[in-house]
Amino acid sequence: MFLSALELRNIVESSFLPKRCQCTLTPDLLMTVKVYSGAKTDEVELLKSGIDASSLNGCQAINDLITTLRSDMQVQASTQTLHPDRQAL
Helix intervals (H) in the chain: 5-14, 59-82
Q: What is the pTM of this model?
A: 0.81
Q: Tens of pLDDT along 1-15? A: 578 889 999 999 999
Those residues with Cβ within 8 angstroms of residue 33's Cβ, 6 or more apart along the chain or in another chain:
12, 21, 22, 23, 46, 47, 48, 49, 51, 69
Q: Tens of pLDDT along 46-71? A: 999 999 999 998 899 999 999 999 99
Task: Name the nearest CA neighbour of 23 among 38, 42, 8, 37.
Answer: 8
Confidence bin at 87 (pLDDT 50/70/90) = low
